Chain A
Amino acid sequence: MTLSVTAHSDATHQAADAWRRQTSLRRLYTAIGVGLLIVALCGSMWFADEANAGHFFDRLPHILDFLSWLVPKDWNDVWRAMFDVASPHDTGTQEFNFPLGRAYVWGSFYIPEYFELMLTTLNVALVSTFVGFVFAVPFSFIAARNLTPHPVLRLIVKRFMELLRAFPEIVIAGLFAAIVSIGPIAAIIAIGLHSIGALGKLFYEINENIDMRAEEGLRAVGANWFERVRFAGLPQVLPNFMSYTLLRIEINVRISTIMGAVGGGGIGEELKLSISRGFGAKTIALVLLLFTTIFIVDQFSAWLRRKLVGEQAFVMGA
């Protein structure tokens, strides 16, 4: 090392100095960045703790106490709660009134209450994703720079979708709850409107990256805007559209559970009730059901997406 340095000219020294200066400067910036992050984190933690009803260190020793209500006296009650089978512990309280929730379909055949609620939540997610897809596809072609029929129209549609995406779903849900009555329809409208914005944005970004030669060919034979989009645009982007739509279904299942908890119907409402009243067996049954459903939806959608567009489906953000 020493040998090579002495053997070289001043120019090398200068280069080495410049390099060292640059690295030390970069290290300084990194240190400042990390320092700022730590300060922001500590400040946020303090703020969150101050504003909370119970404080972190006060509650920490009792964190397992709160789990004690969760453990049912009889683990079989979990299955009984899930499938609406009468429990021997039934004392007439709401905690063990499992058979009351049965929805009889045919004779003595019934759908257990929680499965029906889960179905509602799933249907809310599916229908709202469908609504989002149907509107997002035409919007995305209008909003794509390379396919737009008119630049002014493009700007309007783009801003509109941004607004839909940023608008808090809970306000749309609350507004429509007052109009179409509280329940799943209000949740569908809220999640559907949000999905239009979210899917539309992803879709038009895909549209802007398509190969334009097919479109030029169609333009050369005098195809109108609709034909160009249908035959040059859509075939290229459809697999990606489907992949993002599946991803949206995963997200919407989660949102529709939350919407349920604030009055949108479905399993969220029941879960909130059950946790706030401390019904152990019911809560575990609900969490198990929700967990399994979300897990299955996620895995199925991941499998389908991999089939549609390959590994690319999992690279996001970058």
Chain B
Amino acid sequence: MAAMTADQIQSIEERFPHVFRRPFHQRFGPLLLLGGTLVYLLYALWFFNLPQVMRESHWERLPLFLTQWISYDVQPIFRLDEPQITAKYPRFSVLGPDPHPDWVKANADGSVTILIDGAAKSVTFNKMQATIIANGETVPVALDTGKPLISGPVPDWITAHEDEVVADMGFAGEVRVAADRVKIRKRFLGWANFVFDTRSPFFGKSAGEVASLIVSGPDLKAGTSNLALAGDNIWNNAQWQHGDVWTKLLQTIVMAFLGTALGGIVAFPLAFFAARNITPSRLVNQVLKRFFDFMRSIDMLIWALFFTRAFGPGPLAGSAAIFFTEIGTLGKTYSEALENIDDKPREGVVSTGANGLLVQRYGVLPEVIPVFISQTLYQWESNTRGATIIGAVGAGGIGLKLWEAMRTNSNWANVFYMVLLTLVVVFVFDNISNFLRRRLSRTIHDYNRLQAEQD
């Protein structure tokens, strides 16, 4: 390629000024935007005091909480200062009253063996000595001096305190040995007592036994059939609260549906008055549009708090909050859709001498109804998600229940159960709404194509 002369270069520069002599904001705009973002992030770092928050955070809790989502503990205590070594379970143990699990073995010589994870991770103890086995090592702990003593080297999975020896066995659990007692924490994968709680007469029975009891067994409680009793026990399961959770979930769904549907019904006529091509009065247009902006700008939270105070906590307050916000959102989107319509069908209907209402019905509605429905469905879908959060401030639904379960930091399995249900609901509603909207958008698409062909 031959080198270009200065003249040629100049002539190219003159022919394409938009490439070579771009205005300042085009040339440096992206750079400034990037720089501005970086400066802002530094400011945010300082504003939220991020380094210190990170230093003080407890990331080691994260895996612990996550395992609690799908597992549960059993924590028996064995007292060594009583004549007989017996297991004591917490009052509301998931194993029910008076359990005899097969992982606690009473040996012939009076000692007790607890299998935390088979024989590979276990502890055997009597009043004089405990033997902890894990990770291929066997560690004897002497208890006869009034303090737990390890003779020999201490492996790194054992922490020896003054009056207690703690053996960490990972996911499987933990053993804490003191001179007068042995504390066990054994972890199981899954959800305990998901169907029947420990108070239920069906507790601890296999699925086959329960089925045969329901079909042909004698009545476990006089005056009630076993089927009704089983249903009642499941619904009122004290640990999982199925009945309450499902009712609250239904409340969330109802809140979103009621709020969106009523909002749509109210916004529908108002939008016609707000659209400048349908109602010629500028004043009415502007007043209504500002009204929509007003309703939207008062946050859903404010509405929720006000209505919670007015109606008391519950789904009515939540529905009302969504309803008021939706009047603004749907009114705005409806009126914008109306302003974007093709005027020809309307002019056609006007030319036949039809009155105002008939013009809207036959000249405008067919064009906007699919768009309106599609937008309402979209809002319904996003409100189903939003109703979960709104609930947490007292506006009813699953949100408050979730928040309360999380506050105690101990009920993560219940939280996960509710999360799963919420996820299922959101996915189902997403898909229903997507399916309907895709069908509608095909209608809109066909309509536009037909029009394009006629033009």
* A interface residues with partner B (beta carbon < 8 Å): 37, 40-41, 44-45, 47-49, 51-56, 59, 62-63, 66, 119-120, 123, 126-127, 130, 162-163, 166-171, 174-175, 177-181, 183-185, 188, 254-255, 257-259, 261-262, 268, 271-272, 275-276, 287, 290-291, 294-295, 298, 311, 314-318
Contact = CB atoms under 8 A, between A and B. Distances in A.
Interface residues of B, number: 81
Contacts of B47: 119-120, 123
Contact of B293 (A174, A254, A298): A298
Contacts of B294: 291
Contacts of A169: 388-389
A129 to B, nearest CB: 11
Contacts of B371: 317-318
Interface in B350-371: 370-371
B40 interface: yes
Given A48-B314, A318-B370, A181 B53 contact: yes
Contacts of B62: 175, 179
A55 B314 CA distance: 10
Contact of A261 (B262, B378, B393, B440): B393
Nearest to A49: B316
A53 to B, nearest CB: 3
Instruction: Sort A-B residue pairs by CB-CB distance and give the 10 closest, nearest first.
Output: A52-B314, A53-B312, A54-B312, A174-B406, A52-B316, A180-B57, A48-B315, A166-B426, A317-B375, A317-B378
Contacts of B333: 316-317
Nearest to A265: B48
Contacts of A254: 299-301
A219 to B, nearest CB: 25
Given A174-B403, A179-B58, A318-B441, 10 more contacts: A52-B315, A170-B389, A170-B406, A175-B406, A177-B406, A180-B54, A185-B50, A291-B302, A315-B336, A317-B371
B402 A170 contact: yes
Interface string B264-301: 00000000000000000000000000000110111111
Contacts of B336: 314-315
B323 to A, nearest CB: 11
Interface string B418-455: 01001100110010000001001100100000000000
B41 A47 contact: no
Nearest to B30: A238
B150 interface: no
Nearest to B340: A315
B331 interface: no
A179 B54 CA distance: 10
B309 interface: yes
Contacts of B316: 48-49, 51-52, 54-56
B44 A262 contact: no
A130 to B, nearest CB: 7
B57 A166 contact: no
B20 interface: no
Interface string B294-324: 1011111110011001111111111100000
A72 to B, nearest CB: 16
Nearest to A52: B314
B319 A127 contact: no
Contacts of A298: 293, 296-297
Nearest to A116: B47
Interface stretch (B161-169, B185-193, B250-258): B250-258
B112 interface: no
B375 A166 contact: no
A305 B20 CA distance: 28
B50 A171 contact: no
B57 A179 contact: yes
Interface in B369-410: 370-371, 374-375, 377-378, 385, 388-390, 392-393, 396, 399, 402-403, 406-407, 409
A40 B257 contact: yes
A163 B424 CA distance: 11
B312 A59 contact: yes
B261 interface: yes
29 contacts: A40-B257, A40-B261, A48-B251, A48-B258, A48-B396, A52-B313, A52-B314, A54-B314, A63-B310, A166-B385, A166-B422, A166-B423, A166-B427, A168-B389, A168-B422, A171-B402, A178-B58, A178-B406, A180-B53, A184-B48, A254-B300, A262-B392, A268-B301, A275-B309, A290-B299, A290-B302, A291-B294, A298-B293, A315-B340
B254 A48 contact: yes
A171 B58 contact: no
A318 B375 contact: yes
Contacts of B318: 48
B138 interface: no
Contact of A52 (B317, B393, B440, B444): B317
B99 to A, nearest CB: 30
B272 to A, nearest CB: 18
